[in-house]
Amino acid sequence: MAVPLECYLGLSVALFTLGAIGVLIRRNILIILMCIEMMLNAVNLAFIGFADTFKAVDGQMFVFFVMTVAAAEVAVGLALVVAVFRNRATVSVDDLNLMKW
C-alpha cells in the first residue's frame, strides 16, 4: 500500500517548522546546525514524497544533491565551530561577536 502524498508533506512541514523554530530560538551554535540539518531533511522528505507520487527520478536526484550540500555544510560548520571554540571557549551565539575587536 502506497503512502499518500499528504502524509509525506505533513511530516515534512512538521520537521521543517521544528527546525526553523530551533534556529530562531536556540542560542547554541551546534543546536542551530542540527536544526538546519533537520530542515534540509524535511526538504528531502518532500522531494522523495513527490518522486514517489509522480513516479519520477528527479526528486531522488535533488535529494542526492541536497545530501551533498548538507555533508559539506556539516564539515565546514563543525570546523568553524571548533575554531571559534578554541579562540573564545564558548559556542553560544550571544557571546560570539567576532567582528568586534
Specify whether the CB–CB gap between 86 and 80 falls below 8 A.
no
- Would 98 be classed as within a structural domain? no
Question: Per-residue pLDDT tens for 21-78?
Answer: 999 999 999 999 999 999 999 999 999 999 999 999 998 999 999 999 999 999 999 9
User: What is d(CA 50, CA 60) in angstroms, rounded to the nearest whole number?
Assistant: 9
Dihedrals phi, psi of 55, to nearest 5 degrees:
50, 50
Specify whether the CB–CB gap between 42 and 16 falls below 8 A.
yes
The number of domains in the chain is 1
Question: Per-residue pLDDT tens for 1-25?
Answer: 789 999 999 999 999 999 999 999 9
What is the domain range of residue 55? 5-88
CATH number of the domain bearing residue 63: 1.10.287.3510
Question: Per-residue pLDDT tens for 68-95?
Answer: 999 999 999 999 999 988 988 888 888 7
- Would 94 be classed as within a structural domain? no
Residues in CB range of 23: below 8 A, 6 or more apart? 32, 35, 36, 39
- Would 80 be classed as within a structural domain? yes
